[in-house]
A and B are shown apart, each in its own frame.
Chain A
Amino acid sequence: DVQLVESGGGLVQPGGSLRLSCAASGFTFSNYDFHWVRQTAGKPLEWVSGIGRGLDTYYADSVKGRFTISREDAKNSLYLQMNILRAEDTAVYYCAREIMVAGFFDAVDMWGQGTMVTVSS
């Protein structure tokens, strides 16, 4: 099956850390650029971070300096290391694959099912 499967979400205290993983299958992972997009319940989507095939990385201002995106092509995996977590980081985090038409930054044609991150004491 062609799919993205996130893991690593959970409950963490403010100031804590969490590492999200996204396992890809059914396609050639190294040929694609990827992003993390989050969504708080009932709210719009919010782009968090992106990584290209050349390991170039980009971050939303709200997470810059706290979150680190990385990829491991040999393991068909995408990661998001989240440090100094805040209550406002509480959301479902989606792993997302670009459609690869426009070049890096592009529309997303594949999404994982999402993993829930809750930051609360």
Chain B
Amino acid sequence: EVVLTQSPGTLSLSPGERATLSCRASQSVRSNYLAWYQQKPGQAPRLLIYGASSRATGIPDRFSGSGSGTDFTLIIGRLEPEDFAVYYCQQYGNTPPVTFGGGTKVEIK
């Protein structure tokens, strides 16, 4: 099973700042099949990025994903008030099972 480790656990930033979130896999993710989700309290997750770097439909271009192998990054270019949430990475290349990371909370500083 591929273990995904996200860092940092919490990121305290101000609106307008840039956020850099990391997701490290315990082994290489096949075909870079890695996704990023945003989740707000009481809501279901929302797909942001799939295939490590492809933006999902309707996702603003301030969200970008990169990386390959075992190291992946989600960057939020300039934080908007609605971007403060928890972010999860997910790998779906070495399956079953699909696995998720432990999450990074982006909070208002």
Contact = CB atoms under 8 A, between A and B. Distances in A.
Interface stretch (B17-25, B72-80, B87-95): B87-95
Contacts of A102: 31, 33, 50-51, 92-93
Contact of A109 (B31, B56, B100, B102): B56
Nearest to B43: A113
Interface SS of B by simple majority: loop
Interface string A92-109: 001000010110011111
A53 B54 CA distance: 24
B92 A106 contact: yes
Interface stretch (A11-19, A42-50, A69-77, A81-89): A42-50
Interface of B: 31, 33, 35, 37, 44-47, 50-51, 54, 56-57, 88, 90, 92-93, 95-103
Nearest to A98: B92
Interface string A15-59: 000000000000000000001000000001111001000000011
Contacts of B47: 99, 107-109
User: 7 closest pairs, A vs B, by CB?
Assistant: A111-B44, A107-B50, A107-B35, A47-B98, A105-B95, A45-B100, A105-B92
A107 B46 CA distance: 11
Given A44-B101, A45-B37, 17 more contacts: A44-B100, A46-B100, A47-B99, A47-B100, A58-B96, A59-B96, A99-B50, A101-B54, A102-B33, A102-B51, A105-B33, A106-B33, A106-B50, A107-B51, A108-B35, A108-B45, A108-B90
B51 A101 contact: yes
Contacts of A59: 96
- Range, interface on chain A: 20 to 34
Interface of A: 35, 44-47, 50, 58-61, 94, 99, 101-102, 105-109, 111-114
B7 to A, nearest CB: 14
Nearest to B47: A109
Identify the interface centre among A59, A61, A94, A109: most chain B CB within 10 Å of its CB. A109
Contacts of A113: 44
Contacts of B93: 102, 105
